[in-house]
Amino acid sequence: MTTEPPLSALDRLRQRVAAQTAASQPQAPSPVPSGGPPEAGESRLLAGLNPQQRAAVVHGGGPLLVIAGAGSGKTRVLTHRIAHLVETGRAQPGEILAITFTNKAAKEMRERLSALLGPVANRMWISTFHSACVRILRAEHEALAMRSTFTIYDSADSLRLMNQVCREEAIDSRVSTPKGLLRRISDLKNELIDPEDFARSINDEADVTVAAAYRGYQNRLRAANALDFDDIIMTTVGLLQSHPAILEHYQRRFRHILVDEYQDTNHAQYVLIRELTGRGESMGELTVVGDADQSIYAFRGATIRNIESFEDDYPNAESILLEQNYRSTQNILSAANAVIANNPNRRAKRLWTDSGAGDKVVGYVADSEHDEARFLVEELQALSGKRRWSDIAVFYRTNAQSRALEEMLIRAGIPYKVIGGTRFYERKEIKDALAYLQVVANPDDTVAMRRIFNTPRRGLGAKAEDAVAFHAQRHGMSFGAALDDVGSAESPRGQVNGLTPRAEKAIIDFRTILHVAREKAESGSAPADVLDSLMAGSGYTEELRRSDDPQDEARVENLAELHAVAADFKKMNPDATLGDFLEHVALVSDTDQLPDGDVADEGDVTLMTVHTAKGLEFPVVFVTGFEDGTFPHMRSLADPVELAEERRLAYVALTRARENLYITRASVRSQWGAPQELPASRFLDEIPEGLVDWRRAHSSADVLRRSSSTRYSKPSFDGARTGGSVKPGRLDSGSGRLDGGSAKKAAAEALSPEDREKLAAAEAAKAAEQAAAAEELKRKRAEAAQEEEEKLGALASVKPGDTLIHRKFGAGTVRAVEGRGANMVATIEFDGKSKRLMLGMAPLSLPK
C-alpha cells in the first residue's frame, strides 16, 4: 500500500518524485519478433541479437571492450552476457560483479537479470561503484581501523567540514574558497593522491594552502569516523593495495567483472577495477562497455583515456563495436551525428539504423524563456491524444531552466514531474533530521553534531559551541564525546569550562534526548521510531508547527515523508539497522527512488537535465535552451576541452529521442533576475538545414537587428540591440563576452553582393511579417493578462473547501491554495483526481 505522502506546495511545483522514468526505460526492440518457441537457454539468450552483439555475449577469455554507440543495445548485451555466462556454466552467480554508475541502472540491470535467470540473480553483486565499495569497507573496517558505523558525507557535509577547517587552520577563505579547496581535494582523491603524497609535490604558494586544508580536512574526517564520496573509492583502493590477503579474497570471489559506462570512470575507479581483476594466470574476466561520445562527467574526474587506452592497458583485449542503433529514426540520428562530428580527436563511429528517416526534427526560436515554454505547451497540447504524457520528456542544461517551463505547464494543467533539482535529501529539515539520526549512529560525527547542536534553538550559541569544541580539542576527543563531560563530576578530564548554568542544562537535556534515541536504536527499534523519538524529544517538529512561516508547514510534511521512507525501508529490509538506513539514504539519491504510481493512466511529462537523461529514452523529446551561454554552458565557451564535453552532452540529449525530436532556443533568457540576450547555440548551426523543420527560425530581436543592420557597415552589438526591450547596460556587458553569432556572420560575409542584397530584401519582408506577428502576439498577451486579472478578482478569495467548475474536468473541491495574485495556484480535487491549476489561467469559474 503506497499511501501518497502529503506534499507541500513547493514540493509539487518542484516535485522531484523520482524516477520512474522506468516507464520508458530503454529496451532495444529486437529485429526479430520475440517470443519464439522455448529453446535451450543459450539460443534464447542469443535470439534477436545482431552479429556484434552476439559476439560480445559469447566472448570468452580475455578482456573485452564493447564500444556501444547510443541506442545500440548495450544493456541488452551486458545482461545477456551475464545470463549466458551463468547458463553455460562458465560462471557461478556469486562470481559476478556488475558495476554501474547510477542506482537506477543497477536496479534495472538486476530486474532484467531476474527476468532472464530467476532468483539466482540475487546472488550477484550488481551495484554502483560507491555502494560496492561501501559494502567492502563495512566488511573490512577492522583492517582500516575504522568503525563499521562510519558516516558518509555528502557534498554539503563536506563543505561544512571544510568551512570548519578554514576557520580552525586560519586559512583565508577569501583567497582559497572552501569550495575551491574541496574541488582540488576531490581531484586529488580521484587521482589517488593522499595528503602526504601531495605535500611532497607542492609546486607553488597556493598548493601550500591546499596541502594544509587537505591534511586538516582528512584528519577531521577520520576523527569523525566519516568518509566523503571520493574517499569511498580511494579508501577501498588503498585497502586492497595494502592488504594482499583481502585483495586476493575479492579477486577469487569476483571472477567476472563487468563495468557499464566505462567512459565515466575516473582514475581511482580504473585502478579499483584493475586491482579486482588481477593479472597473470589468475586474472578474472573483465568486460567494459562504454562510448567515448557519451562521456559527460569529466568535470567529476572521469577520463575518456580509460576507454581510449583500454587496448593498451589490457594487451590481449578484444574490441567489439556496436554501431547499429535500434532507438531513433535516421533524421534524429543524422542530427546527432552531425553535431558530435565537430568534436576533435574523436574516433569516428558510423551509427546507422534501418528504421527509416522518420519525421524531421522540429525547431523553434523563441523570444524569451516564456515564449519557449509557451511553444512547448502548445506542442504538448497538439500531441495530447496521440501520445501519453509519459512518452514525452523535456530536457534542459541547468535545473534553473525548469522554472519557466513548470510555470507554463501548471497553467496549462499538463501533469509533469521534475527529476533532479532541489533534492529531497538536501533540504534543510531533512538534513537536520538525518543529522540527528547520524549522531545517534555515530556520536563522533562532528559535522552532524554541530549542525543540530542548537537546532532547534535551545539557547546554545557560538559561545557554548566554542567551549565544547575547545574541550574536545584539548583532550583529543570528538565534539560529541566532549558533550558527555558537560556537568559530569566524575569525568577524569574535568568539567567543560566556560559554560553558563543555563547552557549546561540545555546541553544535558540535548544529550539525554540523544541517549534515549541511541538506546532505542541499539535495542533494535526501527529507524522510523528512532526518528520519531528524536523529532519529538528535541521539539523540532513542535517548533516547525508553531511557526507561522508557510514554508515550515511544508517542512513538517517533508519530515513526514522522510518518516514514510524510513518505514518503507524497514518493510523492504526487515533486518536493517539504523546504519543501513543511513547508508541507503547517503548513496541512493532520490532520482532513483519511489516506484511508479499508476501505470494505467497517462503518466506525467518528464522534466530533467540532460545529465540526468543519460541512459534513458523517450518517444518524444524536447531539448530546450540551445543558446551559446546556456547550452553550451557559459563556463565552457572559452575552453575547447569543456566545449567538447558540452557537445557530447548535446549528443546525449539528441540521441534520447526515438521518434520525435524538438529543439528550441530563447533569444532572451533571464538569468538570476536579469534578462540576457544570448545568440543561437553553435550546436544548432552544426545540424544540417535539411533535417530541421523550423517553425520559427528567427527571434523578433534577430529580425529587428537584421533589418536595421543594413544601415551598418558591419553587424555589431550596438544600435539595433538597444532597440530591443532589454536594458542596454545589461546587454552590453553580457554580449561582449560571447562570440555571438560568429558562424552566421561568417556565412553572411561569404555571400556574393547580389545574394546579400536578395537576402536582405527577403529578410526585410520577413521582418515586417514577423514584426506584425510579434505585435499581434503582444496584443493577445495583453488581452490575456487583462482577462486573467478580471478573473483573479473573482477567484482571489477562493479557499480550501470551496467548489470550482473547470471547463473540462467539471466540479472540483479546492484542497489547498498557494501564492498570491497572478501566481495563485490551487490544488483542486476533481472526481478523485487531484490537479494543480493556476487560478488566473485555467478555465475555472465559480459555481452559479
Partner DNA sequence: TAGGTGCATATTTTT
Partner DNA sequence: TATGCACCTA
Q: Which of 145, 462, 572, 641 binds DNA (CB under 7 A)?
A: 462
Q: Cα angle at 674 between 670 and 679, to 5 degrees?
A: 50
Amino acid at 19: A
Q: Which residues pair with 417 in a beta bridge?
A: 606
Q: Which of 642, 685, 686, 788 binds DNA (CB under 7 A)?
A: 642
Interface with DNA, residue 545, by CB under 7 A = no
> How many angstroms separate the CA atoms of 463 and 308, rounded?
56
Choices 129-137, 407-415, 436-444, 473-481; region in contact with DNA by CB under 7 A: 129-137
Q: Which of 252, 463, 758, 833 binds DNA (CB under 7 A)?
A: 463
Near DNA in 103-122, by CB under 7 A = 103
> Taking a C-beta distance cutoff of 8 angstroms, is the pair 419, 608 a contact?
yes
> Would you say 73 is a known binding-site residue?
yes
Q: Which of 15, 53, 79, 102 binds DNA (CB under 7 A)?
A: 102
Q: Which of 454, 495, 813, 834 binds DNA (CB under 7 A)?
A: 454
Choices 291-299, 317-325, 552-560, 570-578; region in contact with DNA by CB under 7 A: 291-299
Interface with DNA, residue 161, by CB under 7 A = no
Near DNA in 557-596, by CB under 7 A = 587, 589, 591-592
> How many angstroms separate the CA atoms of 128 and 103, rounded?
6
- Label residue 473 left, alpha or beta by phi (over 0 means left) and psi (-120 to 50 means alpha): alpha
Three-state secondary structure readout of 94-141: HHEEEEECCHHHHHHHHHHHHHHHHHHHHHCEEEEHHHHHHHHHHHCH
The two beta strands, 674-677 and 657-671, are: antiparallel
Choose among 182, 300, 160, 229: nearest CA to 587. 229
For residue 593, the minimal CB distance to DNA (Å) is: 11
Q: Select 253 or 611, whichever has its Cβ closest to DNA.
A: 611
> Would you say 70 is a known binding-site residue?
yes
> Taking a C-beta distance cutoff of 8 angstroms, is the pair 652, 294 a contact?
yes
For residue 37, the minimal CB distance to DNA (Å) is: 41
> Would you say 384 is a known binding-site residue?
no
User: Helix or strand or coil: residue 623?
Assistant: strand
Q: Select 108 or 592, whichever has its Cβ closest to DNA.
A: 592
Interface with DNA, residue 131, by CB under 7 A = yes
Amino acid at 273: I
> How many angstroms separate the CA atoms of 288 and 276, rounded?
14
Near DNA in 428-447, by CB under 7 A = 428
Choose among 453, 430, 447: nearest CA to 566. 430
> How many angstroms separate the CA atoms of 639 and 643, rounded?
6
Interface with DNA, residue 229, by CB under 7 A = yes
How many residues sit in the footprint of DNA (CB under 7 A)?
46
| Residues whose CB falls within 8 Å of the CB of residue 668, separated by 6 or more in sequence, listed in order | 367, 368, 369, 675, 676, 677, 678, 699, 701, 724, 725, 726
For residue 767, the minimal CB distance to DNA (Å) is: 31
> Taking a C-beta distance cutoff of 8 angstroms, is the pair 336, 327 a contact?
no
For residue 39, the minimal CB distance to DNA (Å) is: 38
Q: Which of 31, 279, 299, 783 binds DNA (CB under 7 A)?
A: 299
> Taking a C-beta distance cutoff of 8 angstroms, is the pair 366, 375 a contact?
yes
For residue 47, the minimal CB distance to DNA (Å) is: 33
Tell me the catalytic residues. Answer: 74-75, 260-261, 294, 656
Q: Select 92 or 454, whichever has its Cβ closest to DNA.
A: 454
Choices 100-108, 276-284, 322-330, 346-354; region in contact with DNA by CB under 7 A: 100-108
* Residues present in the chain in total: 848
> Would you say 386 is a known binding-site residue?
no
> How many angstroms separate the CA atoms of 29 and 490, rounded?
72
Q: Select 342 or 671, whichever has its Cβ closest to DNA.
A: 671
Q: Which of 673, 801, 832, 847 binds DNA (CB under 7 A)?
A: 673
Interface with DNA, residue 498, by CB under 7 A = no
Instruction: Give the DSSP H/E element, type plus range, for residue 835.
Output: strand 833-838
> How many angstroms separate the CA atoms of 738 and 258, rounded?
43
Interface with DNA, residue 672, by CB under 7 A = yes
Interface with DNA, residue 155, by CB under 7 A = yes
> Would you say 69 is a known binding-site residue?
yes
Choices 234-242, 665-673, 794-802, 832-840; region in contact with DNA by CB under 7 A: 665-673
- Quick note: the x/- pattern for DNA over 726-745, rule CB under 7 A, is --------------------
Q: Is the backbone peptide bond immediately before 675 cis, with ω within 30 degrees of 0?
A: no
Choices 123-131, 142-150, 234-242, 760-768; region in contact with DNA by CB under 7 A: 123-131
Choices 126-134, 354-362, 572-580, 690-698; region in contact with DNA by CB under 7 A: 126-134
> Would you say 368 is a known binding-site residue?
no
DSSP code for 24: G
Interface with DNA, residue 169, by CB under 7 A = no
For residue 51, the minimal CB distance to DNA (Å) is: 33
DSSP code for 22: G
Locate 633 and state its grid cell.
554552458
The two beta strands, 605-609 and 618-623, are: unpaired
> How many angstroms separate the CA atoms of 356 and 180, rounded?
49
> How many angstroms separate the CA atoms of 675 and 295, rounded?
32
> How many angstroms separate the CA atoms of 476 and 544, rounded?
36
Interface with DNA, residue 636, by CB under 7 A = yes
DSSP code for 679: P
The two beta strands, 285-290 and 64-68, are: parallel
Greatest extent of the chain over all pairs of C-alpha atoms, in Å: 97
Q: Which of 633, 756, 766, 835 binds DNA (CB under 7 A)?
A: 633
Choices 42-50, 80-88, 125-133, 654-662; region in contact with DNA by CB under 7 A: 125-133
Q: Select 420 or 480, whichever has its Cβ closest to DNA.
A: 420
For residue 135, the minimal CB distance to DNA (Å) is: 12
For residue 673, the minimal CB distance to DNA (Å) is: 3
For residue 503, the minimal CB distance to DNA (Å) is: 6
For residue 153, the minimal CB distance to DNA (Å) is: 10
| Residues whose CB falls within 8 Å of the CB of residue 21, separated by 6 or more in sequence, listed in order | 104, 393, 419, 606, 608, 616
Q: Cα angle at 417 between 592 and 412, to 5 degrees?
A: 175
> Would you say 71 is a known binding-site residue?
yes
Choices 347-355, 397-405, 429-437, 571-579; region in contact with DNA by CB under 7 A: 397-405
Interface with DNA, residue 781, by CB under 7 A = no
For residue 229, the minimal CB distance to DNA (Å) is: 4
> Taking a C-beta distance cutoff of 8 angstroms, is the pair 664, 365 a contact?
yes
Binding residues: 68-75
Q: Which residues are annotated as a binding site for ATP?
A: 68-75
Q: Please report, as ranges, the residues that interact with DNA according to CB under 7 A.
A: 101-103, 128-131, 154-155, 179, 229, 296-297, 299-300, 397-400, 420, 428, 454, 457-464, 500, 503, 587, 589, 591-592, 609, 611-612, 633, 635-636, 642, 671-673
